[in-house]
């Protein structure tokens, strides 16, 4: 009798069903699927990244980032580890698919029966919260020979992991939008170029030579095919003509079977249009690459890695408007996303993340547990977390800007203190509060802000009509477009990109005026947390350091 080979548990791989989930039945054993393995980096990669990240507190002229090719060679996966994965796949009747040394990922394909056996788990079909998904419970395991080599396995579980952070103004109001009207409009909305003037974005720049990556997540059917989320060029052409700009170069990139599939989910389509139109109106000469992937742990991480390690388009900034409460996510997912964000910082790529639209609760009222929550992935310390404001102004003059909080109907900016990620050194003097019984010293969210209130929202064009949207979904691409302008100027001066901006931002003295401090309001959306997070002088857990003064921030970066 053959000896049973020893197996080890993959740390952080434990998974629980969604709350209220019921088992529909077993999966079809012969059905095929693909999973993503995340491998350890090369020896010495941690020291290289540490040295690179220490530069983030310095002006870009004093920084030197690794190229994507250098990163792959020094911080990517070790080819000897890949040979072990080949052996593992062969022993379990699995096929090795796409391998990305830089992202340290390998795709394995096989039947659900073989995949379940390979990773020591039983796969079942679950139904919960209006979705049916393939899932598992408990931990994953591997042969002991792979201990430390494989850090995570994504894709066995196909539940949705994120929602778009946008709020739509009532159709009755939005339908009256006229692109030719001067604004602040009668409905309170703005054209994005108007916001650029109000926020003093630098003039004479258009993003030429830069690429803005936008991450979008597809709904999928039971077989994993994308069924929703996308844009149409006719909508984009109409929008940009309406604001007096040429339509930017927009390309859709499919990841893990993701695709540009507009039409079946108006909410998600609105998200995509909002992201492209806001970023494109700020940096119309930049290329915009939209990376579509399934709304799963594997899809979300793979999309970010695809953008980050794209050696053709080479994005210098990534915009993410999707998220969910950080609590309840498996540790290997949290760690994997954080590792990708750290890689971005090492490469000099800025990642802008929406901070959420359900205030300090970060959950719909129907499912809220009466506790504050932080939104993920904006809570990752390497993210530029983007909160929201309510804005009034005209021309180049802001007359009022306060924390966005319109209650249950109109939403409120996310913000709070992470329960997962420890407080980064750049927030040591930011007076981030300590909350909860464990007195955990967590990372404060957001870092910066911009207009997000749908009642003072953004004019967009989607599904053949003019509409108005708000949400922190709009703030991430607003900042991404601004950073593309920064990078254009910095590149012209042969200076490194803005990259991981947080340490430098938090070092700026108040008199520098690189951000507009928001000192009025709170983000207690349901009024049940006794105004836990309030705006005040300096950083706060509603709008961070404040909204941008683009020209002054560019000066601080050395541009």
**How many of the other CB atoms lie within 10 Å of CB of 552?**
17
Does position 272 have pLDDT exceeding 80, yes or no? yes
Residues 6+ away with beta carbon under 8 Å from 450:
195, 199, 386, 388, 389, 474, 475, 478, 479, 547, 548
Please write the tens of the pLDDT for every residue from 486-536.
999 999 999 999 999 999 999 999 899 999 999 999 999 999 998 889 999
Question: Rounded to an integer, what distance in angstroms lies between the CA atom of residue 285 and that of residue 28?
Answer: 48
What is the distance of C-alpha 412 from the center of its chain? 18
Question: Rounded to an integer, what distance in angstroms lies between the CA atom of residue 103 and that of residue 517?
Answer: 37
Is residue 67, in this structure, part of any structural domain at all? no
Residue ending a domain, among 133, 154, 175, is 154
Exposed e or buried b for every residue in 180-215, given b needs 16+ CB within 10 A? eeebbbebbbbbbebbbbbbbbbeebbbeebbbbbb
Give the pLDDT of residue 176.
Answer: 44
Please write the tens of the pLDDT for every residue from 526-559.
999 988 899 999 999 999 999 999 999 999 999 9
Please write the tens of the pLDDT for every residue from 103-135.
999 999 999 999 999 999 999 999 987 789 999
Region for residue 435 given its phi and psi (left: phi exceeds 0; alpha: psi -120 to 50; beta: otherwise): beta
Is residue 25, in this structure, part of any structural domain at all? yes
Q: 406 with 479, same domain?
A: yes
Give the pLDDT of residue 298.
Answer: 96
Q: In this prediction, what percent of the chain has a pLDDT beyond 70?
A: 94
Q: In this prediction, what percent of the chain has a pLDDT beyond 90?
A: 84
Strands 32-39 and 105-111 come out as: antiparallel
Residues 6+ away with beta carbon under 8 Å from 343:
49, 71, 75, 103, 308
CATH number of the structural domain spanning residue 550: 3.40.50.200
Give the pLDDT of residue 172.
Answer: 32
Considering the candidates 473, 517, 524, 540, report the single residue annotated as catalytic: 473
Residue 400 phi/psi, 5-degree rounding, is: -160, 135
Q: 482 with 420, same domain?
A: yes
Residue ending a domain, among 110, 130, 154, is 154
Q: 443 with 470, same domain?
A: yes
Q: 206 with 302, same domain?
A: yes
Q: 124 with 271, same domain?
A: no
Does position 178 have pLDDT exceeding 60, yes or no? no
Does position 174 have pLDDT exceeding 90, yes or no? no
**0.85 exceeded by pTM:** yes
Give the pLDDT of residue 173.
Answer: 44
Provide the mean pLDDT of the chain. 93
Question: Rounded to an integer, what distance in angstroms lies between the CA atom of residue 320 and that of residue 217?
Answer: 10
Considering the candidates 216, 275, 419, 524, report the single residue annotated as catalytic: 275
Is residue 327, in this structure, part of any structural domain at all? yes
Is residue 61, in this structure, part of any structural domain at all? no
- Look up residue 466 and give its two tokens: 């003019």
Give the pLDDT of residue 517.
Answer: 97
Q: 221 with 102, same domain?
A: no
Q: How many domains does the chain have?
A: 2
Q: In what order do the strands lie in the sheet with 95-100?
A: 95-100, 105-111, 32-39, 150-154
Residues 206 and 281 sit within 8 Å (Cβ to Cβ): no
DSSP, collapsed to helix, strand or coil, labels residue 72 as helix
Is 222 among the catalytic positions? no
Q: 294 with 182, same domain?
A: yes
Considering the candidates 235, 269, 271, 401, report the single residue annotated as catalytic: 271
Is residue 237, in this structure, part of any structural domain at all? yes
Is 473 among the catalytic positions? yes
Quick one: average pLDDT of 212-220?
95
Does position 187 have pLDDT exceeding 70, yes or no? no
Q: 12 with 88, same domain?
A: yes
Q: 249 with 191, same domain?
A: yes
Q: 26 with 145, same domain?
A: yes
Give the pLDDT of residue 38.
Answer: 98
Is residue 207, in this structure, part of any structural domain at all? yes
Q: 103 with 226, same domain?
A: no
Is residue 428, in this structure, part of any structural domain at all? yes
Is residue 231, in this structure, part of any structural domain at all? yes
Q: In what order do the strands lie in the sheet with 458-462?
A: 167-168, 465-470, 458-462
**How many of the other CB atoms lie within 10 Å of CB of 78?**
17
101 closest CA partner among 125, 128, 80, 132: 80
Q: 176 with 202, same domain?
A: yes
Quick one: average pLDDT of 456-474?
95
* Structure confidence at residue 224 as a pLDDT band (50, 70, 90): confident
Give the pLDDT of residue 1.
Answer: 33
Give the pLDDT of residue 171.
Answer: 39
Residues 256 and 302 sit within 8 Å (Cβ to Cβ): yes
Does position 164 have pLDDT exceeding 80, yes or no? yes
Residues 505 and 341 sit within 8 Å (Cβ to Cβ): no
Does position 437 have pLDDT exceeding 80, yes or no? no
Give the pLDDT of residue 181.
Answer: 37
Does position 182 have pLDDT exceeding 50, yes or no? no
Residue ending a domain, among 154, 178, 213, is 154
Give the pLDDT of residue 169.
Answer: 83
Quick one: average pLDDT of 4-27?
90
Give the pLDDT of residue 265.
Answer: 66
Is 275 among the catalytic positions? yes
378 HSE (CA, 13 A, CB side):
42
Alpha carbon distances (Å) from 516 to 306, 388, 446, 448, 457: 34, 13, 14, 9, 18
Q: Kindly report which listed range (6-10, 241-245, 406-410) carries the lowest average pLDDT score.
A: 406-410
Q: Which domain holds residue 20?
A: 7-40+77-154
Give the pLDDT of residue 186.
Answer: 58
Residues 6+ away with beta carbon under 8 Å from 47:
none
């Amino acid at each position: 009798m053959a000896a049973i080979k020893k197996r080890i548990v993959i740390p952080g791989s434990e998974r629980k069903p969604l709350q209220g989930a019921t088992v529909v039945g077993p999966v079809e054993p012969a059905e095929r699927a693909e999973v993503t393995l995340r491998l350890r980096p090369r020896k010495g990669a941690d020291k290289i990244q540490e040295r690179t990240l220490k530069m983030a507190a310095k002006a870009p002229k004093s920084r030197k980032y690794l190229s994507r090719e250098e990163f792959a060679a020094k911080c990517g996966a070790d080819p000897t580890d890949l040979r072990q994965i080949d052996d593992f796949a062969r022993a379990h009747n699995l096929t090795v698919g796409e391998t990305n040394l830089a992202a340290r990922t390998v795709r394995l394909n096989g039947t659900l029966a073989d995949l379940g056996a390979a990773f020591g788990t039983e796969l079942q079909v679950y139904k919960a919260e209006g979705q049916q998904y393939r899932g598992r419970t408990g931990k994953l395991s591997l042969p002991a020979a792979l201990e430390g080599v494989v850090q995570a396995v994504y894709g066995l579980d196909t539940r949705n992991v994120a929602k778009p952070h946008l709020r739509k103004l009532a159709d009755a109001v939005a339908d009256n939008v006229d692109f030719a009207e001067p604004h602040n409009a009668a409905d309170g909305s703005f054209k994005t170029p108007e916001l650029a003037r109000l926020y003093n974005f630098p003039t004479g720049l258009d993003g030429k030579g830069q690429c803005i990556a936008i991450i979008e997540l597809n709904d999928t059917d039971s077989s994993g095919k994308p069924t929703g989320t996308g844009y149409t060029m006719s909508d984009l052409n109409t929008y940009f003509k309406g604001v007096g700009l040429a339509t930017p170069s927009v390309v859709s990139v499919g990841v893990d079977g993701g695709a540009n599939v507009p039409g079946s989910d108006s909410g998600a389509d609105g998200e995509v249009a909002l992201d492209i139109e806001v970023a494109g109106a700020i940096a119309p000469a930049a290329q915009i690459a939209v990376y579509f992937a399934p709304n799963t742990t594997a899809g979300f991480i793979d999309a970010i890695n695809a953008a980050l390690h794209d050696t053709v388009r080479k994005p210098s900034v990534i915009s993410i408007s999707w998220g969910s409460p950080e609590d309840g996510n498996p540790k290997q997912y949290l760690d994997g996303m954080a590792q990708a964000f750290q890689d971005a910082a090492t490469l000099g790529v800025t990642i802008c993340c929406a901070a959420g639209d359900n205030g300090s609760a970060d959950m719909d009222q129907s499912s809220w547990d009466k506790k504050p929550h932080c939104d993920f992935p904006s809570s990752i310390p390497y993210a530029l977390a983007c909160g929201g404001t309510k804005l009034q102004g005209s021309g180049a003059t802001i007359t009022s800007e306060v924390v966005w909080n319109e209650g249950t109907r109109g939403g409120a900016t996310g913000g709070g203190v992470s329960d997962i990620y420890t407080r980064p050194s750049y927030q040591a003097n930011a007076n981030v509060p300590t909350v909860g019984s464990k007195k955990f010293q967590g990372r404060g969210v957001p870092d910066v802000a911009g207009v997000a209130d749908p009642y003072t929202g953004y004019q967009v064009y989607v599904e053949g009509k003019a509409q108005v949207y708000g949400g922190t979904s709009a703030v991430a691409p607003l900042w991404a477009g601004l950073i593309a302008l920064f990078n254009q100027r910095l590149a012209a001066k042969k200076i490194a990109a803005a990259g991981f901006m947080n340490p430098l931002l938090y070092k700026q003295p108040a008199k520098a005026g690189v951000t507009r401090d928001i000192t009025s309001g709170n983000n207690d959306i349901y009024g049940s947390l006794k105004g836990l997070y309030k705006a005040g002088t300096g950083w706060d857990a509603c709008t961070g350091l404040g909204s941008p003064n683009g020209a002054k921030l560019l000066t601080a970066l050395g541009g």
